[in-house]
Amino acid sequence: MAEFFFNYGLFLLKALTIVVAIIVIIAVSVAAGMRTRKTTREGHIEVTKLNDEIDHLRDTLCETVVDPYALKTELKQRHKAEKAQHKANVKKIKQAAKQEPGQTGEQDRKRRLFVLDFHGDMKASAVASLRREITAVLSLAETQDEVLVRLESGGGMVHAYGLASSQLQRINDHHIPLTVCVDKVAASGGYMMACVASKLLAAPFAIIGSIGVVAQLPNFHRLLKKNDIDFEMITAGEYKRTLTIFGENTEKGREKFVEDIEDIHTLFKDFVRQHRPQLDIEKVATGEIWFGQRAIDHALVDELMTSDEYIVTACEDADVFEVKYREKKSLPEKLGMAVHSAVDAVLLKWFDRGTRNRFYS
């Protein structure tokens, strides 16, 4: 028995060694790929017509639920109506082309709704794709059209989310209606983006607000001093550094740091006030968050609605297109993303097991 456990333990050690070695190789490959990648990355725009996607979902369900004869009759009628509509559109285009060269009959078309997604992290990394998606949409969209941004973000770096907000402002500058829908969270920098919208929607329990600024850092000065370790930092300019991680922080530096934070908060409040003058900024700019109806009561959002409901309703009288910019990734990056996703899944699974109430299966 002892020999069995010894062999089994040896096997586990070998397996663990192999797994660690694979992870190290992947990590090195990813690092090498990041160092050698080009400054300009190849990518492309993907466009999906959501009207067709919703019709496909409905047809798939009908194939099982609806009587086959009734379904066949309905499909024939629909195809007949679509064919007639297509002929009418072609006729309009030809007539417009004869009357005024260069005209294509676009003025008589259905309005378009362009759907973009933004899932923000601390650095608002998704702005790299968002700026290209907006550029593509603005090259075609007209004032009769609309842009819907499905936004999810808990905030992050001020300058990063300032840039992301500026990208959304480009849509307003072109006089194209901008709607932002928050299904889960738009807090801090996320709300900085959301408030730019001409119409702001939120799901009933979406987290909204957190109009505030936070900065925190540890200080190891006393630990270094206790172990007789000196730390020197040379700067030019009185406030080049205010608070540091390893140096001794002064009251003057601390006051300057607080002053900078307060100034950023003032800029944040002014920005929100500019785009949503209807809200009481001093009442909501406390760093608090609100859910659903409470957010409406404070004029932080305009209406309670999920993005799915908004899109399905829009499909009744508009052509709805989902626009995504896909960036081409190298093999090492793909492997790195796969490892990252796998580790996240394992950690979340064990966290769920550890925190789940024992009365639930």
106: which DSSP letter?
A: G
Task: Give the strand pairing for 43-49 and 318-327.
Answer: antiparallel
Question: Distance between CA atoms of 242 and 248, rounded to whole angstroms?
Answer: 10
Give the active site residues. 188, 240
Strand partners, 45: 325
**Helix-helix angle 68-99:50-65, to 10 degrees:** 160
Where are the extended beta strands (E) located within the chain?
A: 43-49, 111-119, 146-152, 178-182, 185-187, 199-202, 207-209, 289-291, 303-304, 318-327
**120 vs 201: CA distance, rounded Å:** 18
CA angle 203, 208, 213 (to 5 degrees): 160
- Give the CB-side neighbour count of residue 11, counting CA atoms within 13 A: 6
Asked if 214 and 187 touch (Cβ cutoff 8 Å), the reply is no
Q: How big is the CA angle at 308 (ends 305 and 312), to the nearest 5 degrees?
A: 105
Pair 143, 198: CB distance under 8 Å: no
Q: Exposure string (b/e) for 82-121, b if CB count within 10 Å is 16 or more?
A: eeeeeeeeeebbeebeeeeeeeebeeeeebbbbbbbbebe
Of 185, 220, 223, whose CA–CA distance to 301 is shortest? 185
Question: 227 is written with which tokens?
Answer: 């172990």
